[in-house]
Amino acid sequence: MITSTTGPQPADFADVRATNLAVVLRFVREHAPCSRADIAASTGLNKATVSSLVADLIDRRLVRETGLTENRVGRPATMLVLDGSPYAAIGVEINVDTVSAVATDLAGERLLTWRRSFSGGESVSQGVAGVGAIIRRVVSRMAKEERQVLGLAVAVPGLIDVQGTVRIAPNLGWRDADLGGDLAKALRDPGFPIQVDNDANLGALAEQRFGAHAGASDLVYLTGELGVGAGVILDGRLRRGGRGYSGEIGHVQLDPEGPVCRCGRRGCLEAMAGIGAVLRRDPSPAEIQIEIEEVVRLARAGDAGTLGTLAEVGRSLGRGVSILANLLNPEVVILGGYYVPLAPWLLPGVHEEVGSRVIAAEAGGLQVVASTLGYDAAALGGAARVLDSVDSGKLPGGLSRIP
């Protein structure tokens, strides 16, 4: 039998309304304030349909009318903006020594940004207890603001399969953990969906929605933590691979004669261009931030040894970025985590190697930039993943409310 997955999916008239509600919601997200006529003109939907869809979105409190009117010929139009005041999206990032939590409203405006110390190196159950306690406080804060939580997505540094099971999180020492299920129990079935994802994947979703290159179709986000991972967005969507394990660039070998990596192999990207290579040793997680600040101070002061190390690490990182560029031809590779404060000294070496190693002219249009989203990019990406679900048509309230 010949099968093909390239074609469109079946659509019947019942699907159309759900699809179109999401289309109108996204239009308002991107173009607010806008009128019903604007929506009709841009989407090709007729005005009566748009009016009915907008009424539904207003009923769900996803969209609201403003007092504003458009200053143009003809009858003044009532303008629409995102509402979402009764909703919140929550993202959480688990790291070795900290948990970050972010909550946003439907428009992506931050409602809350927390960072708490955490001892993730203990067992999964202790980890779940600790993270669960933090999430409960976030949820309770949202409840006080009378917001319904649309969903929660949790970033974990490790291999997460497509079902959301944590297969291996080496730096946490976790293995085969049903983190989402355990958190649902710890939160006593909170009534919103809980998703678990790789930290680099969620970093990429954060960049796609909130970053300086938001909307780029082909974007790779590189974490610069103890490990180095990639979140790969191609044709506008995160690409997870068959089992969800894409983006494991950290152990791609750059040099068979290179330094020994924590994984036991030689010359891995992580060993040559990870934070350990910058600090020239494997630091304890709690010390990294302080040590990176010291590296930045020395680099600013022109310390030759530090500048030499950063130039070398930048070139190694550039070799890794070149592999991404040759294989995937992204428009932009975004350096996250601890790469951000180091970027002024890393980027020249990255550009040098990218320029000489990428086959396509002008590196296929590639830009390499530092993230503008700060250390909680992956947590913010958790909120982005929740908002992506809404934008894809999983609207709160559900279609059962439509008469």
CA angle 117-118-121, nearest 5°? Answer: 145
Query: Binding a copy of itself by CB under 8 A: which of 187, 319, 347, 351?
Result: 319
Q: How far is the CB of 175 from a copy of itself (least distance, A)?
A: 10
Based on the number of CB atoms within 10 Å of its own CB, is 48 exposed (0-12), middle (13-18) or buried (19 or more)?
A: exposed
Q: How far is the CB of 383 from a copy of itself (least distance, A)?
A: 12
What is the distance between the alpha carbons of residues 13 and 323, in angstroms, rounded to a whole number?
A: 45
Identify residues 247-306 at the interface with a copy of itself (CB under 8 A).
Answer: 247-257, 263, 265
Q: How far is the CB of 11 from a copy of itself (least distance, A)?
A: 5
Residues 6+ apart with CB under 8 A from 181: none
Nearer to a copy of itself, 19 or 119 (CB): 19
According to DSSP, the residues that pair with 100 across neighbouring strands are: 93, 115
Match 């152990």 to its residue by tokens.
251
6 contacts a copy of itself (rule: CB under 8 A): yes
111 contacts a copy of itself (rule: CB under 8 A): no
9 contacts a copy of itself (rule: CB under 8 A): yes
8 contacts a copy of itself (rule: CB under 8 A): yes
Q: How far is the CB of 149 from a copy of itself (least distance, A)?
A: 20
Are the C-beta atoms of residues 97 and 65 closer than 8 Å to each other? no
Nearer to a copy of itself, 209 or 351 (CB): 209
Residues 6+ apart with CB under 8 A from 132: 183, 186, 187
Q: Decide the pairing of beta strands 110-117 and 166-169.
A: unpaired
According to DSSP, the residues that pair with 135 across neighbouring strands are: none
Are the C-beta atoms of residues 87 and 150 closer than 8 Å to each other? yes
Bin 302: left if φ > 0, else alpha if -120 < ψ < 50, else beta. Answer: left
Count of residues interacting with a copy of itself (CB under 8 A): 91
145 contacts a copy of itself (rule: CB under 8 A): no
Nearer to a copy of itself, 179 or 363 (CB): 363
Helix (H, G, I), strand (E, B) or coil at 66: strand
Nearer to a copy of itself, 46 or 71 (CB): 46
47 contacts a copy of itself (rule: CB under 8 A): no
Q: How far is the CB of 272 from a copy of itself (least distance, A)?
A: 11
Q: How far is the CB of 389 from a copy of itself (least distance, A)?
A: 9
- Considering only the stretches 120-128, 228-236, 278-286, 333-341, report the one whose residues sit in contact with a copy of itself under the rule CB under 8 A: 228-236
178 contacts a copy of itself (rule: CB under 8 A): no
What is the distance between the alpha carbons of residues 361 and 380, in angstroms, rounded to a whole number?
A: 34
Query: Binding a copy of itself by CB under 8 A: which of 36, 60, 209, 315?
Result: 209
Nearer to a copy of itself, 184 or 379 (CB): 379
- Centroid of chain to Cα 119: 23
